[in-house]
C-alpha cells in the first residue's frame, strides 16, 4: 500500500509531457498559393513572370532530350538523368590506360552513371552547346559520386582535370570546373576543398615517321577528298581517337602550375573529370599530381563509357554492359 502510494505521488510530481499527436506542429515555410498581401511582393511576382515569358520569346529553348518547349531539361528527362545516376559504380577496369601489366587498376575510378541515353545527351549539350543550366542537374550527380567514393573518409581534396586551350576557347568555359563551382556554391561537399592546380602544357605531338604517321596522313587526305572533317590529333577533343592515339596525345600534356606544388604535397587527391573512356587523361593527370608530391587516391567522373578499341566486341543494344564492373568494395587507398 505504501509503495503504491509513493509511486502515484512520484508520477504526479513529474512534468506532464505533451502528446505529440495533439501538439500543433511548428509552422514550416510553405509555398504561397494565394496572391501576396504586400504590393512589393505582387510586383516582384509579376516581373518574374514577365521576365520568364520574355526570355521564352527572345531565347526559345527546347528540352535537350525530348525537345519539349520552354525548358532546357524537362522534369521527366531530369528524373531519368537522376535515375541513371542513382547508384555510382566502379569503372576503372573498362579503361585500359588505367590498368597495370598484371591487370590490376593503377587508380580506382567511380562513375556517377553510364554514358548513354539522357545522361549522354545532357553532357553533349552541356559541353558543346553551352547549356550551362544543365549543371543544376549534373552537379548533384557528380557530388553523389564523390560522396560514394570517399565514404566515411576525410582529408581528401578534389583536383579537376583541365580542358585543353582549344576546347576552352571554343566553349568559353571548362565543364568540370563549372560543375565543381556549382558544388562549392551549394556546399554539397563542404569537407572536400577544390585544389585547381593542373594545367595543359599545350604540347603537341611531334611529327614522326612510321606506319602510324602514314595512316594518319592517308586518313587526312581521304577526309579532305570526300569532304569529311579530319580529327585533329594535335589539339581539341579526343572523340573518335583510338586507345593508342589517346595515350600518345595526352602523354606529358599536363603539369602543375608554377608555385602550386606546395598545395599538393602530402595531400590525398581525388581527380575529377567529366567522361571516362580509355582513362588516358586521368592517367596523365595522376602522373602530374604524383610528380608534384600529391597522393592520388582515385578518380571520379560524371559518366563512363566503353573505350573505342572495344566497340567491336560490345553487343549492340546492350547498355548494361557498360556498368558490369560495379563493386561495393572500398577503393580509396589511404596512403
pLDDT digits (tens, 9 = 90+) for 203-234: 544 434 445 555 555 555 444 444 444 444 44
Residue 270 phi, psi dihedral angles, 5° rounding: -120, 120
What is the distance between the alpha carbons of residues 105 and 299, in angstroms, rounded to a whole number?
12
Helix spans in the chain (H): 2-13, 39-58, 75-84, 117-128, 135-150, 165-171, 175-185, 211-225, 243-250, 280-291
pLDDT beneath 50, residues of the chain: 2-3, 20, 25, 27-30, 204-210, 221-236, 242-243, 309-331, 333-335
Query: Residue 305 falls within a domain, yes or no?
Result: yes
Count of structural domains, the chain = 1
Q: Please give the DSSP secondary-structure letter assigned to residue 334.
A: -
Cell of 312: 567491336
Nearest to 146 by CA among 269, 54, 277, 249: 269
- pTM for the model stands at 0.66
User: Could you tell me the CATH number of the domain that includes residue 319?
Assistant: 3.40.50
Q: Report the pLDDT value the prediction gives residue 314, as an integer from 0 to 100.
A: 34
Query: Residue 13 falls within a domain, yes or no?
Result: no
CB under 8 Å to 187, separation ≥6 — which residues?
Answer: none
Query: Residue 120 falls within a domain, yes or no?
Result: yes
Query: Residue 98 falls within a domain, yes or no?
Result: yes
Q: Report the pLDDT value the prediction gives residue 96, as an integer from 0 to 100.
A: 84
Query: Residue 30 falls within a domain, yes or no?
Result: no
DSSP string covering 24-76, please? PPPPP-PPP-SPPSSHHHHHHHHHHHHHHHHHHHHS--B-TTT--BT-SS-HH
What is the distance between the alpha carbons of residues 247 and 40, in angstroms, rounded to a whole number?
60
Query: Residue 311 falls within a domain, yes or no?
Result: yes
Query: Residue 64 falls within a domain, yes or no?
Result: no
Query: Residue 4 falls within a domain, yes or no?
Result: no
pLDDT digits (tens, 9 = 90+) for 24-37: 545 444 455 566 67
What is the distance between the alpha carbons of residues 166 and 110, in angstroms, rounded to a whole number?
27
Residue 176 domain boundaries: 88-204+234-323
pLDDT digits (tens, 9 = 90+) for 287-323: 999 999 999 999 999 999 875 544 333 333 333 333 3
For 166, 296, 298, 313, the CA distances from 159, given in Å and listed in that order, are 21, 10, 11, 34
Amino acid at each position: 500500500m505504501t509503495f503504491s502510494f509513493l509511486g502515484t505521488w512520484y508520477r504526479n510530481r513529474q512534468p506532464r509531457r505533451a502528446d505529440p499527436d495533439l501538439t500543433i506542429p511548428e509552422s514550416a515555410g510553405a509555398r504561397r498559393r494565394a496572391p501576396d498581401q504586400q504590393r512589393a511582393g505582387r510586383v516582384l511576382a509579376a516581373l518574374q513572370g514577365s521576365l520568364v515569358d520574355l526570355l521564352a520569346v527572345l531565347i526559345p529553348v527546347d528540352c535537350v532530350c525530348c525537345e519539349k518547349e520552354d525548358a532546357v531539361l524537362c522534369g521527366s528527362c531530369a528524373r531519368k538523368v537522376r535515375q541513371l545516376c542513382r547508384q555510382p559504380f566502379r569503372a576503372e577496369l573498362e579503361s585500359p590506360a588505367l590498368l597495370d601489366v598484371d591487370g590490376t587498376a593503377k587508380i580506382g575510378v567511380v562513375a556517377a552513371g553510364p554514358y548513354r541515353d539522357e545522361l549522354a545527351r545532357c553532357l553533349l549539350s552541356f559541353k558543346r552547346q553551352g547549356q550551362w543550366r544543365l549543371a543544376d542537374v549534373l552537379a548533384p550527380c557528380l557530388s553523389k559520386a564523390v560522396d560514394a567514393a570517399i565514404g566515411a573518409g576525410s582529408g581528401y581534396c578534389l583536383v579537376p582535370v583541365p580542358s585543353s586551350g582549344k576546347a576552352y576557347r571554343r566553349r568559353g568555359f571548362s565543364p568540370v570546373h563549372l560543375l565543381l563551382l556549382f558544388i562549392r556554391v551549394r556546399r554539397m561537399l563542404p569537407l572536400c576543398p577544390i585544389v585547381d592546380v593542373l594545367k595543359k602544357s599545350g604540347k603537341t605531338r611531334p611529327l614522326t615517321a612510321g606506319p602510324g604517321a602514314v595512316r594518319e596522313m592517308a586518313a587526312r587526305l581521304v577526309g579532305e577528298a570526300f569532304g569529311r572533317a579530319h580529327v585533329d590529333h594535335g589539339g581539341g577533343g579526343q572523340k573518335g581517337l583510338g586507345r593508342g592515339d589517346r595515350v600518345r596525345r595526352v602523354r606529358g600534356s599536363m603539369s602543375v602550375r608554377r608555385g602550386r606544388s606546395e598545395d599538393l604535397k602530402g595531400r590525398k587527391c581525388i581527380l575529377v573529370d567529366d567522361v571516362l573512356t580509355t582513362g588516358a587523361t586521368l592517367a596523365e593527370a595522376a602522373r602530374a599530381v604524383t610528380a608534384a608530391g600529391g597522393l592520388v587516391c582515385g578518380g571520379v567522373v560524371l559518366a563512363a563509357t566503353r573505350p573505342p578499341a572495344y566497340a567491336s566486341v560490345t553487343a549492340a543494344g546492350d547498355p548494361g554492359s557498360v556498368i558490369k564492373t560495379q563493386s561495393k568494395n572500398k577503393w580509396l587507398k589511404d596512403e
